[in-house]
Amino acid sequence: MAKAKEIVLQFVEQINSQNVDGLCSLMSEQHRFIDAFGAIVQGREQMRQAWIGYFHLVPDYQILLEEVFEYGNAVVAFGTAGGTYAPNGELLEQNKWQVPAAWRASVSDNFLTEWRVYADNEPLRQLMRK
């Protein structure tokens, strides 16, 4: 059985590769995603659609981890998240953003059961309002 931290690192690797199938292969069927506002998306297939949509808007989305802590089945990570807002597929320099971020993950039976994001995404929201 893999350690929770290993599952989380694999999950981040799939995010950074924009590999939706890879992400889904690491999520439990009842996976919960909780964004910085507390909004919840429940279910692996619902998250498949959410990741597809997000990668359409930010095709180069990247998470850079600086510190990762594991405590049993819980993992907490700190770093930055960012990319380029590109609703039309154009990666324009003026649409790049990056924010400090933290994540809390829960792992059970080698599957990510919850992925919670703590980040101020105002830079991305500003780009989306333009």
The helix or strand, by DSSP H or E, that contains position 23, with its residue range, turns out to be helix 20-26
Q: CA-to-CA distance for 125 and 115, rounded, in angstroms? A: 21
The answer to whether the predicted template modeling score (pTM) of the entire model surpasses 0.85 is yes
Q: Domain map of the chain by residue range? A: 4-129
pLDDT tens digits, 11-69: 999 999 999 999 999 999 999 999 999 999 999 999 999 999 999 999 999 999 999 99
**4-129: CATH architecture:** Roll (3.10)
